Amino acid sequence: MSSSDPIAQIGEWLKEAERKEALEPAAMSVATVGADGRPSLRMVLLRGIDARGLVFYTNLTSHKAEDIRANPHVALCLHWKSMTRQVRVEGRAEQVDDAEADAYFAGRPRDSQIGAWASKQSHRLEGRFKLEARIARYAARFGIGTVPRPEFWSGYRVVPELIEFWEDRPFRLHERTVWERAEGIWSSYKLYP
Cα–Cα distance between 2 and 8 in angstroms, integer? 10
Q: Which of the residues 169, 172, 176, 181 is marked catalytic?
A: 172
Beta-carbon neighbour count of residue 84 at 10 Å?
12
Q: Which of 43, 99, 15, 30 is nearest to 71 (CA)?
A: 30
Residue 85 pairs in a beta bridge with 80, 167
Assess whether 149 carries a catalytic annotation: no
Q: Are 138 and 118 in contact (CB under 8 A)?
A: yes
Q: Residue 52 gets which letter from DSSP? A: T
3-class SS shares of the chain: helix, strand, coil, % to 5: 30, 40, 30
Query: What are the φ/ψ torsions at residue 76 (nearest 5 degrees)?
Result: -120, 155
Q: Which residues are catalytic?
A: 172
